[in-house]
Chains A and B, each alone.
Chain A
Amino acid sequence: MKVIFRHALRNASLPILTVAGILICSFMGGVVLCETVFALPGIGSFILEAVEFQDYPVVFGTVLWICLNCVVITFLVDMAYGFLDPRIKATYRIVKTAKSNDGSKV
């Protein structure tokens, strides 16, 4: 059991994380439909209302917010790679030391 969870799951979780990140981002878009179907007062129905009334600042603001969330999620997924796989972390280190050897700022 320990082998499966500690070693197998850890190595297998990289592609899972990648797909999860993409899925969460697409769910942010899907929320528009979900909230219409179930009549939930959330960000999705807010956008729709704003589009209907041509309320541009609200539309752009909410979509900017969704995009910002997506960027943050993608960033977190990338950071998680480093935690899960020391080899990826190691490549970052090499780049850093190589730069500092050149005399450039780290």
Chain B
Amino acid sequence: MSEMPSRLRKNSPMREVWRRLKKNKLSMFCLGVIIALLLVAILGSLITPYNYAAQDLDNTLLPPSFSHPFGTDNFGRDTFSRILYGARYTIFIGFFCITVSAVIAIPLGLIAAYYHKLDNLIMRAMDVIIGMPSTPLLLVLIAALGIGLGHMIIALIVVTIPGFARVTRSQAMVVKNQDFIEASVAIGASSLRILLRHILPNSMAPLIIQFTLGTGFVVLESASLSFVGMGVQAPHPEWGLMISTGRAFLRTSWYLSIMPGLAIMTLTFALNYLGDGLRDAMDPRLNK
């Protein structure tokens, strides 16, 4: 009953979703964490207490203290500053890869759903990518392109495309069979207009969820690729790379590996729980 006043106002579907998401405390907390990390990534070296590359060879492998909250590594570099600065790499890679892959995959999915002739061609090509486990596929792509940050980003984009295309296609197929699409065909709307004005906005909900969950996946995969030495290279403070360099000192200075690991965990958890919360908010039928 309390919903009545808000129903009377003109309510867009997105505002409705936002209203329901606000009730979910865990999702809002995760959203806050993500926004905080985004700010850290943007501000970068402005807010770090030390320069991420500044070596201090008198103070190597210090345990956590007030001046160095997460301790210092084997070159005396402050781990806390490196983690704050490293947020830039991880978050940039995550959001960039998933955005580019969405830009490529959403048209593919829409075309596959709308034109029956191209459906088999596109979706079988996507099945080839989905059929392989993602980590070996990433390694093959990096082997073919060469080791490096840019090549890792290309590989991650290729790996995330099929998931997006599948979600787009399945949702667009559902929307396509509804009556208002038939009505707009009858009015004489062009295919492009139907796809962009009617089918795409109405299949947005699962795509937003896929975007959040996909970002979590990319963050995890890019960290693991950097961990095995296939992504970001040595002097840069990427989290996965910091874990692998800290591994040699795990027995004496555990904080070198654990702290970046916790940072990756926080970001991935936040993205996944936000995705779950969005799913609940966008599809209330699942909640019951």
Same complex origin of A and B: yes
Q: Which residues of A contact B (CB under 8 A)?
A: 25-26, 28-30, 32-33, 36-37, 47-48, 50-52, 54, 56, 59-60, 62-63, 66-67, 70-71
Inside 8 A of B132's CB, which chain A residues have their CB?
A: 63, 66-67, 70
Chain B's interface: helix, strand, loop or mixed, by majority? Answer: helix
**Bound complex: CA of A51 vs CA of B229, how far in Å?**
10
Q: Would you call A63 and B137 a contact (CB within 8 A)?
A: yes
Inside 8 A of B147's CB, which chain A residues have their CB?
A: 51-52
Give the B interface residue count (CB, 8 A): 21
| Known A-B contacts A32-B139, A48-B228, A51-B139; A56 and B134 likewise in contact (beta carbons under 8 Å) | no
Least CB distance from B139 to A in Å reads 6
Inside 8 A of A52's CB, which chain B residues have their CB?
A: 147, 229
**Bound complex: CA of A29 vs CA of B137, how far in Å?**
9
Q: Would you call A51 and B230 a contact (CB within 8 A)?
A: yes
Inside 8 A of A33's CB, which chain B residues have their CB?
A: 135, 224, 227-228
Q: Would you call B133 and A47 a contact (CB within 8 A)?
A: no
Contact among A28, A37, A50 with B133 in the assembled complex (CB-CB below 8 Å):
A28
Besides A67-B136, A70-B131, 15 new A-B residue pairs in contact (Cβ under 8 A), listed by A number: A29-B134, A29-B136, A29-B137, A32-B228, A33-B227, A36-B244, A48-B139, A51-B143, A54-B146, A59-B140, A62-B136, A63-B137, A63-B139, A67-B131, A70-B133
